[in-house]
Structure 1
Amino acid sequence: MHNLSVLKKLLLTFAVLLIALGSIGYFYYNRWKKDVQQVAAIPYILESSALVCDLESVGKQWANFREGAIGQDLSMLPFFTNVQPSLTFLVQAGVDKNLLDELSLIISIHGLSEEEIGYVFYLDIRKPTTNSLLAFLENQRKNNKYKFETRNYAGYSITSVRQPSAKGTKTLYMLKQGNYIMLSFSELLIEDIIRGLSYKERSAFLSMKKTSYKQGSLYINFPKIPSLLRVFLKQEYGCKLGTQLVGALPAAQLELKLSNHYLLLNGVTKNSLTSSNKSYWIDGLAKDNPNSFRLASYIPSSCAVVQYYTFKDAEMFANAMCSYRNKQRNDQATTFKENRSIKNSLNSLLKSDFGRCTLGPDLTDQLLFIHINNVERATDILEEVKLIAVPGEQQISKWSTIYPVNNQVFKNWLPSIIFPDFEPQLLTILDNYIILANSFSALKQLQKAHEQGNTWGTENSRQQRFLSSTLESANFSMFINLEYAWPLVTQRLKPAWKAVFDKHLGNFRKFGYASLQFVNTPQVDQQVHSMNILLAHVANKEEVSPSLQADKTPTLPFFQTEAPISSRLFFVETHKKDDPHVLVQDALDQLYFLDNVGKLVWKKKLEGPILTDILLIDLYKNNKWQYACATSDSLHIIDYTGQEVSHYPKKSPQSGKDVKINIIDYSGDKNYRFLMTDSRGNIYLRDAQYRPLPGWNPKSLHAPFAITPFHIRVYKDYFISLQTNGMLSALNRRGQLYPGFPIKIQENVYNPLIIQRGNHPSTTRLIILTEEGKLYTYNLLGALQNKIQIPKTDYTARFILCPEVGSGNSYAIVRQDLDQVAVLDEQGNLLFEKKQEGEQTLNYQYYVFGSYQFYAITDPVKKKTYLYDVAGKAIHHLPLDNSGQEIKLFFTETTRQLLVYTSLNKSILKYELTVEERLETTKIEDPDLSAA
């Protein structure tokens, strides 16, 4: 499944699957509850089914589909043109439109021959919509508009329906069994159902799971997909692609969702009932937790396809993939006899991921990126095993050294098992990656892309925007730039289908990117993978309003840094009692201290970027503030003049990028303690002289922190920590757990923790929100006081907790989905919703000023911040420029003047906005997040 020809077949699969789905005529689904329930298998579905679609509210979903950008492009295709006239005809003929809107339908799709696709429609007679259609047909029969004939077949009655007066129309065949009416234009398929009923044999078709309150799902039966592909593809391509798909995985059940510019299919793979001994490609994927995609900043923009694997145990992954390949009949005669010593040496370099990049437009130049864990020893190891020798004659000026590659040695390495057709010619090392290329041209494209900053990781590029909508972590990912893939598809279609494709090529090319991802999700009794397919539709430039393009938001000049700003803006108090000053750092690690009007007080270079908040401390107890912060290596305390406090900076207890700090003042007497954490779940507590304290050197909690641990005094001293594995702890000053703790929440947690202080530990509330929307409230005695599930309108939705900026006592809740952001109050009640495109991480902030509440939503990809009031009304008619960092608001309620500080590139921007008084009855139309 991993050679070049297979790569081209996989590209083709995306397009063919799209066409096959298109022939059904319905794409739009908008809700799926995650609580999947196993019910009785849907009856009478034939083993020969290649695809099965389970649809709800067909009329409504079709109407919604036609209104969206994707629907507007696809509705002109021949697969869709007959749908609307058919629905209109049924309504004009007397079928209740409301019942059509709510129609439920199951469709199985079959490849009957090289020219014909067959369908079976399943209608549940327990539903009013089905009875309405049956009543309509009976009415037509009585009026002699249709001719009904019944014949007996193997003890079952088959009814045929046709229009006697119309020439060339197909006959519809019907079979009633149990609670279902089955209809098909293929008499053969109806007879096949009866044969299955007569023999009373269990169908080998894998049982489907029904999801409660779902809108629609798609079941893919991979062994039967070749029968469907042969309808569309030339024979030589259809046979080869079909063989590869049969060996990929047995089946998958996917839920479908369509936003304005994204088609998403998400679900799980399913194991086979009849071929338990068969080896599938998916069984070879890593069984451990997935990693995020790390190659974006390396991949040239000209890349057409990326295939990317992640793993933790390289040896286990290699063994699984070898087992899969050796069971494939075509591999047995050419099994390579590996050199175990060379294999072990090379595999010892592997860290956690590797991926192949195929460059467009001809799909011949390729790059293989291998993440290594020992950069210092890499060249020595490669030379020891004779993968490389002396540098080659072809070099790129002022770039990494390039070596010729010994292909026979390379075949011992895990990446060669995964990509057996890849024949590297050259090798270089860049950062933590070994990069192999099959041509010097491929390396030149890589070097040029880096030199010009033209990669998939380039800020605000189409590729970056697409990647931000895909799964953040996966065991396998394939990303496709369809701009280069469409020509490949058309070359392999049969002439009739190629003519259709060429005629509507402009519509198809609106689909710019696609992704296929698998994530390991093991169950108790079986290995299951989540499967995710995303198809991205490219927005038309004219969709952005010309008035919005021309208008500009006025800004006041505040300050310009030497290099792009890399931190958020820290507004801090000073001993001079002036308005807050600003601390900010740039990409050169220079820290700037600005007064309240943007005048530079001092500038200081640190050894690295600031990774923590900047905290106030009066270390000398003279009522003059100093500013504490930490880099990956050091704790800094800097005074008002820009000088480090005596004996600082101090070495951090543990170096790393996930450092957190807090300053503890038990009694408010400025007898400080320094709290620091690392990425391993350790808490370190030091006294004012930076000496380790007993019980805290370190206090190991064994998992990363979701928040910076903090101290609160309610009769006693409590240290509160919340970790990403869902562990909530409360410790005393000696580092010992209080009774009732730790509390294990059965989900991972990445949101902040809200603490609402009471007069007693029993009335002090700790509030936690999981990404799945479960809101927990505990007290300091460890007792659960409340637990609610915030309504989850879609299975792709995730929840974010937004503490009130400043006090952190109150909070708002955000529910973010693929195409919508909803802002909720503390009880989970909806305040307002805004449309948005993509699943990229947005930054949310919640401000309260007296009776005024403001919600800031920042899109780091678009570099915009949107400001709303509690009713969802935009504070300004245009979003504000912002690099993606948190913003700062100041508000004067008497004048209703709002000051907004943001940063963009090297500039700190200041906006002065006026908040209007509004009547609750006023209806306001606002642009959504997707409009800018």
Structure 2
Amino acid sequence: MIRKVTFGAVAVIFTGIIVYGILELRKGNIQQAEVIQAVPTDAALIINANDLSGFIRDELSRNKIWHELGMVNGIGAFQITLGRLDSMLRIDEEMENLYKGSDISLSLHRSGKSRFEFILYYPLDKAGTEKQILRFIQDKVPSNATLTPRKYDEVRIYDMDFSGNNRKDDFSFAFSRGLLILSPSSILLEASIRQLSQSQSVADEPGFKEVAETAGRNVEGNIYLDYKTIPGFVSHLFNDRYQKEVAEFVHFADWSEMDLNIRHDALLLNGFTHSSAVSDEFLNIVLKHQPQRLDIEAIIPENISAFLALGLDDFPGYKKAYMEHLEIHGHGRAYLRELRSLNEKYKMDRDKLLLPVFDRQVALVLTDIRNFGWDENAYVVCHTKSQSLAAEKLKEWLTIVCEHDGISLSSLIVQQQVMGDVRFTFYQLPVPYLPMKLFGKMFEGINSKYCTFFDNYLIFGNSVQSLSKYIHANQIGNNLSSDLEYHQFSEYLASRSNLYFYLNFPGSTRLMERYLRPDLVTKILEEKDHLFKFQAFAYQITSENDLAYNNIILKYTPDMRDEAQTVWESRLESRVITKPKFVVNHYTGEKEIFVQDARHNVYLLNNSGRILWKQKIDRQILSDIYQIDFYKNGKFQLLFNTSEQLHLLDRNGNYVERYPVKLRSPATNGLALFDYEKSRDYRIFLAAEDKGIYLYDKEGAIVKGWNFGKTEGRVEDPLRHFRIGNKDYIVFADHFTCYILNRRGEIRVSVKKHFPVSKNARFILESNTTGIKPRLALTDSSGRVQFIYFDGSVETVEIEQFTGDHYFEYSDLDGDGRREFIFADKGELKVYKHDGSKRFSYDARAEINHAPVVYQFSHGNKKIGLVSSDNNKIYLVNSDGSLYKGFPLPGSTPFSIGVISRADSKFNLIVGSGDNFLYNYSVQ
């Protein structure tokens, strides 16, 4: 690990530099060496920071990424030190002028078996005497440190030694050839001094000059990577299983130079990599291929953890060059032996048979490894020139293997429905790890026991179930191409590339646990609230003449949260605007989902999330969705209304009979559907803008004998029908009057008290509470509960004052036989016992936009559902006032909870979201 240097020590040196420049008599230019001449040739990384002072002042001080990293332990302390140092160097105008615009360089080196240290380089522009700067530094030396000079190779080195527990802060520095050189390792400092006297330097290494000439000037910094030494550095981040393998990856390329640019929401590194044509590095294999437009993201699910894609124009040529690369460098001997052995065993050339069918791109894809583990979420996806051609060659290969091994080909082929009546063919692979054998060792670890086709893609996976899950995600449009966040991220990407690696930070914890050191994973997870605000990391390589262009992006999304995992997600044409409604498939008895989007499309989806049909209607739906048996034959249709029309659709999305029916007057509420005698002679009630209450039959015709005239005000809540004893009551209200009618539209009960009815009021019947006569409950505009008895009397209960926007529910939450008063007002849920005493409250910290709904999971297990559409959050509150585990979840509509498949006993929560998706969450 790199040792830390205290603020005081660093400040002494840098202040000394400034004084050195100011106090000297500016006797002329120093005979100065280039920084690169002082860098020892075993450097893994070289960084040049251009105009450090301006970078700190203009960029870091207002950069959101820098501020977020400041919340991470260690980085925050470094930021404080850097800020203090910057302030210290600005206390004097001459100091600031000298400090302003300065460049500082740093190189990273191995120091011991598993330790890395740095060397810092600062060019000095003017000559002067050492005595004056040393006198200044000696005045600043802390009391617990000593500054000791010594000679090394004719250069005076100064060692700053701290006593006691501060020995980790020791460092050394020297002046040589116009450079100040500093390092916490005296051995590295001596190596840098020796390097200055050598005729050969890093600048003479293969590829360094070529990439250095491409370095940008007007950027925050330049970073150089040596691919011969960087694997040794990076390998120590990995656990024991992978450390040696990473350390041996030294035949990738020569040098890279990348320009650093910092945006408000991203860190960008762009530049070139050189790979010598005579060195047979891996990158040379890639550079022989034209960069490809990697549209494979259109088939990669959104719940991605990571993927690695190759873009090639000749798969057989790539494989031949790759195997030659392994032969030359002596890597993968066991791999090469196995390939040859299998070809000899089956007396065929597998690559010659299969590789020509692949086209442009192949990717290793890791999806939801957080929830279902590695094997069930590791895939290899290959684009083919033709599905039929690829299937033909696959079967030809399987036939050869089966004949040799005495296996029936039909026993390896499985056909299965994935969604509805769509069937897919799955092939069991008798040879393990086929993708690695076809495409190389970077696909190692993916067993891929099965494969199947989706469009022109061949997909390898570990089981039929995992492949079905992958296909299902694509059938419902749940892929990266349709993901808004990925779309924004991809704006920084090159449109074509030869290699593309993508890592989703919040979804990659299991990936880190698989590859990285356990102690490093622990530290990352401790800081995940800050580190996981970085949405994703991407690395692209694109061939460009004799060089490879690199593009690295680290995207910052401050409001990023670890997404809840869904059973499925279905993408609609626009955002969902209605509560998803469970309806019954009269053929299968299974549940389906009916919903509407903002473009007035209505959809029917099956319980797997597949859209069965879509139909555009005239306006937004006002009512609930009702299933009726129009023909009295056991088959159901869907009934609902907009402000202008009544709609009745069959299960295929087709209108029934004379529907849609134009309303006599535009509706002001959702329809109410009554079937008094359970005879399927339905009655449909609607309030209208002309203040009439209209009664329609199931054909959409006006029913004769309904005698109600006009209301005094506008009716917005659906009418209610209650039967008490042998009497029917039809109940509704405008803003100041409650109406209780009989089936002919005549007043049955005259309410003896008028009150301003709450704008969100609805009538709730209480008819079975011991000791209480049947009554209706609703609230007035101040939140007072008004109980209306069926003799017309009114009882008022005042709990507390609420705003005119409040919502009210009246339900027995704990099963004690007495109902609780439930209010939602602004952002708070408040629940009171039947005697008016407060039971609990819950602050959602967001505006509640819909009425609370009580859901019953089992006897005595009720929960309250809340929706904040403005914040795209839904809540499920337990009957004790605590928030149910896992909530809030993303969602913007009222939601439905129920068991939607007879094969699954778990409850499903279906909700719409503002991002055009319908979500299915599993609720335990």
TM-score normalised over the length of structure 1: 0.49
TM-score normalised over the length of structure 2: 0.49
Q: Which has the larger radius of gyration?
A: 2
- Whichever structure has more helix as a proportion of its residues is 2
